[in-house]
Amino acid sequence: MVKVTVYQKPTCTTCREVYSALKESGVDFDAVNYYLDPIPKEKLKELIRKMGITARDLVRTKEPIYKELKLGTRELSESEIVDLMVKHPDLIQRPIVEKGSKAILARPAKRIKEIL
C-alpha cells in the first residue's frame, strides 16, 4: 500500500477539510505540519516536480510576506523561489497531498479524489 502524506497547516480550513475527508475514507496517512516540521528544500523541489507545476505556481500571493518581499515584481529562479518558501512557509500553497510518484495541491479540498 502506497503511503499518503499531507503537508498542511492545521489551522487552515482547506487543510482541515482534506484531513477530515481522508479520515472519513479510512485512508492511512501521515499529516505533516510544515510550520513545525519544515519541508526540506530537496523535498519541496520533489513535490513541485510531482505536481507538474513551477515553484511560482505554488506561491501564496495573498500573504503579507509576499508583498513585503515584492515577489510579484521580482524575477527569481525556481531555486530562489524554493529557498524563499523554505525560509517563509507562509508562501507555500496548501495542503499538498503526496502519494507515491504523484502529488497534488488539494485546493479546493475535493481535489483529494484525484490522488486516492
What's the pLDDT tens digit per position in 7-22? Answer: 999 999 999 999 999 9
Cell of 61: 500571493
64: confidence class by pLDDT, cuts 50, 70, 90 = very high
* Structural domain that includes position 56: 4-114
The CATH code of the domain that includes 60 is 3.40.30.10
| Number of compact structural domains in the chain | 1
SS3 92: strand
Instruction: Tell me the catalytic residues.
Output: 12
Compute φ and ψ for 61, nearest 5 degrees.
-85, -10
SS3 4: strand
